[in-house]
Amino acid sequence: MSKVQEAKEKLKGSIAPVITPFKQDESLDLDTFKSLINWQIESGSHGISVTGTSGEPSSLTVEERELVMETAIKTIDGRVPFAPGTGSVNFNEALRLTKAAQEMGADAAMVIVPYYNKPSQHALYNHYKTIADAVDIPIVVYNIPGRTGVNLEVKTLARLVEDCPNIIGAKESNKDFEHVNRVLLNCGRDFKLFSGIELLCYPMLTIGGAGSISATANVAPAQVAEMHNAWMEGNTERALELHYELMPLNDVLFKDTNPAPVKAALGMMGKIEPVLRKPMALPTQELQDEIREVLKSYNILPEGVSTN
């Protein structure tokens, strides 16, 4: 079986986009990082991604991103698929990181639409085509227009899929549900479509999506994985029930820029030191209090942790 076919078979369900934990001095906390990955796998997550939006990649050096990826793949040890984020606003960095993911043995590389520069559709095609041609690793395009400033249009994506056999899927953090429907119509029903919008994780499954890469899985991995398990088992009623059960948690985790609320929540859960690198910062105390109340309602605060 080819790498592309193997990735299409393996990549599905809840791919957890694990955060990058830091110590109080803002250095990498790799021991905690390993613990988070093990917890994700034990909780039922179907795959692991790192250095995507939740992993604060723009606050990491290229060398740190490579170290995070290497630590992740060694910790995963083949238990679940691994699809790290390797994109960058800098083309050469994106190419270097994608090649590094291939050399490490990652199952796929998630490559974000370059941010800030706002390239044209023609430029985006050239960017992805050049990277895809330079590697053998399967590629999942990451389209998040709210943070990149530009939307990868369906016709551009369809052209890339036609011209690049190793572009196998997309993480669509796009609130335009008409857009994501047209992705599958134009790229093929076997195209691996993952939701990056929490409230669209269930709806995207219903139109033929493969799963989600959802920041909420950092905080409630078992529940997010269970929603996908229920769907795959044909228990649509249970999947829909979990969709609505997760909604208050999804909402509060996006009242500030991701991953600030997620890191605050994981700190309250005793999983990490809640530290972000500047210019990011923890949410206001008012929002942290709201997050704590929501976590309390889900019974995911550990015993002995104050809920006041």
Tokens of 67: 């170290």
Contact partners, residue 31, CB within 8 Å, separation at least 6 = none
Region 206-228: mean pLDDT is: 98
- The arithmetic mean of pLDDT across residues 2-19, rounded, is 94
Q: Is 306 annotated as ligand-binding?
A: no
The pLDDT-based confidence of 190 (bands split at 50, 70, 90) is very high
**pLDDT, tens digit, for every residue of 15-45?**
999 999 999 999 999 999 999 999 999 999 9
pLDDT of the residue at 1: 80
Of 8, 10, 12, 171, which is the active-site residue?
Answer: 171
Say if residue 284's pLDDT is above 50. Answer: yes
Compute φ and ψ for 142, nearest 5 degrees.
-115, 110
- Once rounded to an integer, what is the mean pLDDT over residues 134-148? 97
DSSP state of 48: E
Sorted by where each begins, the domain ranges of the chain are 3-222
User: What is the pLDDT confidence band of residue 298, given thresholds at 50, 70 and 90?
Assistant: very high
Asked whether the predicted pLDDT for residue 230 surpasses 70, the reply is yes
pLDDT for 308? 44
Residues 6+ apart with CB under 8 A from 135: 98, 99, 102, 109, 166
Q: What is the 3-state secondary structure (H, E, C) of 76-114?
A: HCCCCCECCECCCCCHHHHHHHHHHHHHHCCCCEEEECC
Peptide bond into 57 cis (omega under 30): no
For 237-249, the pLDDT digits (tens) are 999 999 999 999 9
| Spatial CB neighbours of 223, under 8 Å, sequence gap ≥ 6 | 242, 245, 246, 298
Token pair 């270097």 is found at: 96
- The count of other CB atoms within 10 Å of the CB of residue 9 is 10
> Per the annotation, does 168 bind a ligand?
no
Contact criterion met (CB below 8 Å) for 21 and 35: no
What average pLDDT does the segment 3-14 reach? Answer: 93
* C-alpha torsion angle, residues 131, 137, 138, 139 (rounded to 10): -30
Choose, from 8, 142, 263, 271, the residue flagged as catalytic.
Answer: 142
Order of strands across the sheet that contains 192-195: 47-50, 13-18, 211-212, 192-195, 167-172, 139-143, 109-112
CATH of domain 3-222: 3.20.20.70
Q: What is the pLDDT of residues 101-135, one digit of tens each?
A: 999 999 999 999 999 999 999 999 999 999 999 99
Statement: residue 306 has pLDDT above 70? no
* 52-78: average pLDDT: 98
Residue with the bigger pLDDT between 116 and 305: it is 116
Read out DSSP for 160-172?
Answer: HHHH-TTEEEEEE
pTM given for the model: 0.96
Q: Is the pLDDT of residue 259 over 70?
A: yes
CA distance 78 to 81: 7
Q: What percent of the chain has pLDDT over 90?
A: 95
Known catalytic residue: 244? no
State residue 290's pLDDT score.
98
Q: What is the pLDDT of residue 307?
A: 43
- Return d(Cα 261, Cα 255) in angstroms, integer: 7
Query: From its phi and psi, is residue 68 left (phi > 0), alpha (psi between -120 and 50) or beta?
Result: alpha
Does 142 qualify as catalytic in the annotation? yes
CB 194 within 8 A of CB 209: yes
